[in-house]
Amino acid sequence: MKTLFEYLLPIPVAALGAWIGHLTGLPLGELVGAICAVTAVSKLGVPLRMPHPFVAVVQLLLGISVGSIVTVSMIGELGDVSILGGLLICMSVQILVGYHWLRRAEKWGHVESLLGSVPGAMAAVMTVTGGQGAASGRIAFVHIVRLLALLLVVTLIAGGHPGGAGPSVGSLHDYLLVLAPASAAVVTGYLLERLDMPAPYMLTGLLYTAAFNVEFPEAALHVPDPLALVALVLLGGLIGIRLKDITLKDVLRYVRAGLVVTALTFCATLLVAAAFSQVTGRPFLTLFMSWVPGGVEVMTAAALLLKLDPAFVMLNHVVRMSIIHASPAVLPKRLWQERPLA
């Protein structure tokens, strides 16, 4: 009974925090509120755990959310090698500078430095990091700091908060459309999980939903907002539990690490975007907005406000998120093995 209580309590706590965060009207207020509420309750000594099925649900919804944005036109545009090549080079530079700072200056381990330097996709990273504790907590903290800092920068560039369409409950048809690829993803993900593949439900959710969208473009599959909110609440609970061992001294160190990694990522994106602007002839600001880490919806909305080819911006961010979501499953396992600092 005690273990069941520890498993169930994080959900209402995270939901309450998400509701308070929503009332503030701040960007990503729901996620930040859920994280703060669960962390606060954990700090009071209340034992909280996040059962594996909940983590699998977050993985599944993340994969479906990214896959639902993929369209036939996007697949066609990938024929332009310069887009994919520039994006891959920019991501590689972003990871390289962030990794070396965390590894050499902050003295982090190899795996946590690698995960902490991944450009964006905090939710995907947090479902791969495994257990809780100091290592997982500081990875989460660096991503939170970078997420908020980059959101602030993009908002300033766009001349205000880049708003989008209001939340929608969705129709029964929307939920039934999600059910088909989600069911196939759960079955395949379970099989891949038995083979020790990292984040299997995220990969299968992404692939099945993208394939469904490409095969049946008229269906217009998208993830209803309530499902996205469920993922947000569960993710907030997951991160909050992992932050329970973070002290005030740790907070100051991790804020510094997050800000430095954000600045390095920002500068790397500026340089690569400037170089590729000269090579391809595309506007510098369009490339910068396409390659700087950020949420697909927020970056696309900002591109709309700035009249910067929103379709191109969305394509790059969808590809970036797809690469990050799929990489744990396709990269060699030795990459995720800890290495001593030379």
Q: What is the mean pLDDT of residues 172-179?
A: 84
Query: Which domains does the chain possess?
Result: 2-163+172-336 (1.20.1530)
The predicted pLDDT at position 95 comes to 92
Q: Do the beta carbons of residue 123 and residue 324 sit within 8 Å?
A: no
Rounded Cα distance between 98 and 116, Å, is 8
| Dihedrals phi, psi of 46, to nearest 5 degrees | -80, 120
Q: Work out the pLDDT band at 158, boundaries 50, 70, 90.
A: low
Alpha helices in 106-247 (DSSP H): 110-117, 122-126, 134-157, 172-194, 200-215, 225-242
Q: Work out the pLDDT band at 305, boundaries 50, 70, 90.
A: low
With H, G, I as helix, E, B as strand and everything else as coil, classify residue 295.
coil
Q: What is the mean pLDDT of residues 259-267?
A: 90
Q: Residue for token digits 């990794």? A: 99
pTM for the whole structure: 0.74
- Reported as a single tens digit per residue, the pLDDT across 83-121 is 788 889 999 999 999 999 998 888 888 888 888 888 876
